[in-house]
Amino acid sequence: MIDNIIFSKDRACQLDLLLRSIIEYYDKYQEQNFYVIYKHSDDDYKTGYDALIAKYTWVNWIKESDSFKSDLCNINLANEYTTFFVDDNVFKHPFSIDDEEFTAFIKSKNILCLSLMLGKNIKWAYELLRKVIQPECNVWKWRDADIDFNYPMSVCGHVFRRNEIINIIADADYNNPNSFEDALVRNPPDCEYMVCYNESRIVEICVNSVSDVINKHGKITAKALNNRFLDGQQIVIENINNDSVHYEHWYNYEKII
Interval 48-95: pLDDT, tens: 999 999 999 999 999 999 999 999 999 999 999 999 999 999 999 999
Q: Distance (Å, rounded) from C-alpha 217 to C-alpha 200?
A: 20
Query: Is there a contact between 95 and 116 (Cβ–Cβ < 8 Å)?
Result: yes
- pTM exceeding 0.95: yes
Q: Report the candidate in 163, 170, 133, 156 with the shortest Cα–Cα distance to residue 206.
A: 156
Residues comprising the chain, all counted: 257
At residue 216, does pLDDT exceed 90?
no
At residue 4, does pLDDT exceed 80?
yes
Q: What is the sign, positive or negative, of the torsion defined by CA atoms of 155, 159, 162, 163?
A: negative
The Cα-based distances of 157 to 116, 224, 245 in angstroms read 5, 26, 11
Fold of 2-255: Spore Coat Polysaccharide Biosynthesis Protein SpsA; Chain A (3.90.550)
Confidence band, pLDDT 50/70/90 cuts, at residue 186: very high
Residue pLDDT, tens place only, 94-118:
999 999 999 999 999 999 999 999 9
Residue extents of the structural domains in the chain: 2-255
The residue ranges of DSSP E strands in 118-168, in sequence order, are 124-125, 130-131, 139-141, 158-161
Q: Distance (Å, rounded) from C-alpha 97 to C-alpha 81?
A: 10
